[in-house]
Amino acid sequence: MGPRLSPPADVLTNRADRTFTVKARLKPGVSINSAAAEISALAKSFEQSYPDTNRGFGATVHTEVQARLDVTPFYQSVLVLLFGLVTVVLLIACANVANLTLGRGRSRSRELAVRLAIGASRFRLVRQLMMENLLIALAGGGLGLLIAQAMVEVLSNLEIVGDLPIKASFRLDGRVLAFTLFVSIASAILLVFFRRCNPQRRISRRH
């Protein structure tokens, strides 16, 4: 189809033409790094075989997202903005949960004061609060993953309207799980810190 799409030049045989782009799927089990190493070796062999047109030109493999960001840097700013909005929403949710937890902590201030008076160590109380908050945070993170998986299934079934039948592929990988675990543990630690800084708890201890 080369001669029909771009007459009179043939993009398949003209080695001086640099506008030809190839998109492909990786074979199962092949990583991007190994594919990039293989295509780089092929580019070096072409440079030796065709020095007039291929000298100084290499080849590599990029994901679709990386390729779009290289061609249109504006997408990167949009992704940073969206990630910032998600972070703000996450902080608002954490602040709401922190307020609820602090309210519950005020109702338990007498209990904590009594336990301190009868000999419980501060480390033991902090460990108890940490475990309680960690269970709540992990439960919230697990619920968020279930909702995300449901949204992935919904979005994966949507077809993009256009000349070609395109379907967006979404999936939850290890990075999403690691980020969710990190945020859950960090939220639990922050809640314990807020409890320790609660002035109502210090007043109860003095009484």
Written as tens digits, the pLDDT of the chain (207 aa) is 666 766 666 667 777 777 667 788 888 888 888 999 998 999 899 888 888 888 888 888 888 778 877 777 777 788 889 889 988 887 888 778 777 777 776 777 777 778 778 887 877 877 877 888 888 888 888 888 899 888 888 877 776 665 656 666 777 888 888 888 888 888 777 766 665 555 444 444 444
Residues 21 and 44: their CA atoms lie apart, in Å, by 18
Residues 204 and 195: their CA atoms lie apart, in Å, by 13
Name the residue among 50, 70, 52 with its Cα closest to residue 60.
70
DSSP, collapsed to helix, strand or coil, labels residue 180 as helix
Residue 159: strand pairing partners? 167
